[in-house]
Copies of this chain bind each other. A is one copy, B any other.
Amino acid sequence: MRWIRFTPADGLTRYGQLHDTTVLEVQGDPFQGFALTNQRHALAEVRLEIPVVPVTFYAAGLNYAAHVKEGATLMDRAPVIPTQADIGYRANNALIAHGDDVIIPADAGEKIHYEGEVVVVIGRKARNLNEDEALSCVFGYTIGNDVSERDWQKQDRTFWRSKNSDTFKPMGPWIETDFNLEAATTIVRLNGQEQHRFATHDMIFGVRHFISRMSRYLTLWPGDVIWMGTDGTSPNLRSGDVVEVEITGLGKLRNRFIRASA
């Protein structure tokens, strides 16, 4: 099942189930409860929104070995492979939907990079799950692009500008509840040309481990999202570039990058 959050012509954002290119509108939402309505919309005629406004926006950060190594080289640092699953955070202000433009701030440097990531969407309140139970709180999966400004990333103590400037976190296009992470491939394309391809599951710490470890200390809530990290490194993106993150079985998240004028 694909769940989308969308806005039709009346301007009121709501949830729906996507069947091929038809949206079956629901009342409510898949987290707190919903009822199907008789309203139908053509996918092409609605605006896609981010599929969920996170309660807490978690991000694994460094979670694929090749990315840690290549990233460290880029940042003039020695690679440090994480020895424990320390979850991090991103900020809701930065989220944009599939099809929205990433706006590169006028004073940003040249090292604007993409990171194509699978995103776990939590569906029920959970605490103290072991690894066998961990996936029981997962509602579904979507796609994220963890856009970064690497010069700021060296300077910012907290990654606030480098990772969380407005529009730096595209997420979507929808939530897929029937997804086989073990079988999935992440493919990143720049202006239609394939740049990277990696096994989505090839993480340092997997989804089960992160959820189990996180839930020892914190409560996961319906609507929380966990971005699981990326592999490889990005070329420097320029104004007009279009980045597409495909995860097989999930969909494609596509956004254009535009540099703001000074």
CA distance A86 to B159 in the complex (A): 8
Q: In the complex this chain forms, how many copies of it are found?
A: 2
Is A93 at the interface (CB under 8 A from chain B)? yes
Is A221 at the interface (CB under 8 A from chain B)? yes
The interface residues of chain B lying within 8 Å CB-to-CB of A220 are: 93
Selected contact of A158 from candidates B61, B93, B127, CB within 8 Å: B61
Secondary structure of the A side of the interface? loop
Selected contact of A219 from candidates B87, B93, B160, CB within 8 Å: B93
Size category of the binding interface on chain A: 20 to 34
Instruction: Say yes or no: B158 contacts A56, CB within 8 Å.
Output: no
Given A217-B165, A218-B91, A218-B165, verify A156-B56 contact (CB < 8 Å). no
CA distance A144 to B92 in the complex (A): 21
Contact with B along A202-243 (1 / 0, CB 8 A): 000000000000101111110010000000000000000000
Query: Which chain B residue has the least Cβ–Cβ distance from A218?
Result: B93
CA distance A94 to B217 in the complex (A): 10
Is A8 at the interface (CB under 8 A from chain B)? no
Given A218-B93, A218-B165, verify A87-B158 contact (CB < 8 Å). yes
Query: Which chain B residue has the least Cβ–Cβ distance from A216?
Result: B105
Given A82-B157, A88-B157, A156-B86, verify A166-B219 contact (CB < 8 Å). yes
Shortest beta-carbon distance from A97 to chain B in Å: 15
Is A145 at the interface (CB under 8 A from chain B)? no
Given A92-B56, A157-B82, A158-B88, verify A164-B61 contact (CB < 8 Å). no
The interface residues of chain B lying within 8 Å CB-to-CB of A155 are: 84
Shortest beta-carbon distance from A94 to chain B in Å: 7
Which 9 residue pairs of A and B lie closest in terms of their CB atoms, listed nearest first? A88-B158, A86-B157, A165-B217, A89-B89, A93-B218, A56-B91, A161-B217, A87-B160, A56-B92
Is A42 at the interface (CB under 8 A from chain B)? no
Is A55 at the interface (CB under 8 A from chain B)? yes
